[in-house]
Structure 1
Amino acid sequence: MSFSRILTNICADDLAACRDFYVQLLGFVVKYDSDWYVQLGAPGPLELEFGIIKRTHDLVPKAYQTAPTGMYVTFVVLDVDEVYKKAQEMGVTVIQEPRNEFYGQRRFLVIDPAGCLIDVCSPWSEQEK
């Protein structure tokens, strides 16, 4: 089996707030913007996409129109501390400040406007302690 594309979509009540969060914090580019769906593209040459769908849209089964739990989305960036500074400037809810984890990633955790747990991280090495 092969894939031509893999796309992560999250459900949100306020599409504009979520769109702005990802554009401001992580530099996503808006590829499509409507009242029921927003398609974001990663900055640069990568063809990575991230979607935000209206939580109550008919395409989302009723049982899945609740706030997210039990999952999180990870974004690997070049400089986690730089993105953390942006998060602080934006006043987003920080769940965990940046710290070096045992598995070689430096990360912080925030909550997006839809209530999704977002993990932002960068690799680190012992030399960087």
Structure 2
Amino acid sequence: MTVLRIVPNLHAADPASARAFYGDLLGLDIVMDHGWIITFASKAQTVPQISIASEGGSDTIVPDLSIEVDDVDQVYQRVRSMQLDIVYDLNDEPWGVRRFYVCDPFGKIVNILSHR
């Protein structure tokens, strides 16, 4: 048996309001839209992962999602220009990632990161 993918399902009263954050900001494509559920995806090949944590590292809360991008500084600047709520500012972590936390439209804490 092989796990082929892992899909987090986030509750939202209005799934369409996710378009600006997950589509426009992060560049994810809409691959399914039934109105009551919208699925965003990347063309990049990924490996299914689940992280289980007691803290988020560096004395932060555990984020709801972690999204690795190729240029965290570019996304950070876009988040600032969109005036989104940055929960944990851009930081180089001792375990080799550069990251920040931002609040999505549904109140979920999203860890945006790049490996250094």
Give TM class, smaller chain.
0.7 to 0.9
Match of 1:109 in 2: 101
- Secondary structure of 2:9 counterpart: strand
* Runs of at least 5 residues in structure 1 that lack an aligned partner in the other structure: 49-68, 125-129
TM superposition score normalised by structure 1:
0.71
Higher helix share: 1
Q: TM-score, normalised by structure 2?
A: 0.78
Q: Tell me, yes or no, if structure 1 residue 83 matches structure 2 residue 75.
A: yes
Structure whose alpha-carbon radius of gyration is higher: 1
| Paired residues, number | 103
> 1:3-14 residue pairs with structure 2 within 5 A?
3-14=3-14
Unaligned runs of 5+ in 2: 48-60
Structure 1 stretches of at least 4 aligned residues deviating more than 3 Å after TM superposition = none
CA root-mean-square deviation: 2.0
Q: CA deviation at 1:101?
A: 0.9
Which is strand-richer, 1 or 2?
A: 1
The answer to whether the 8 A contact 1:14-1:113 is kept is no
CA deviations on 1:20-42 (whole Å, 9 max, x unpaired) are 21111110001112221001111
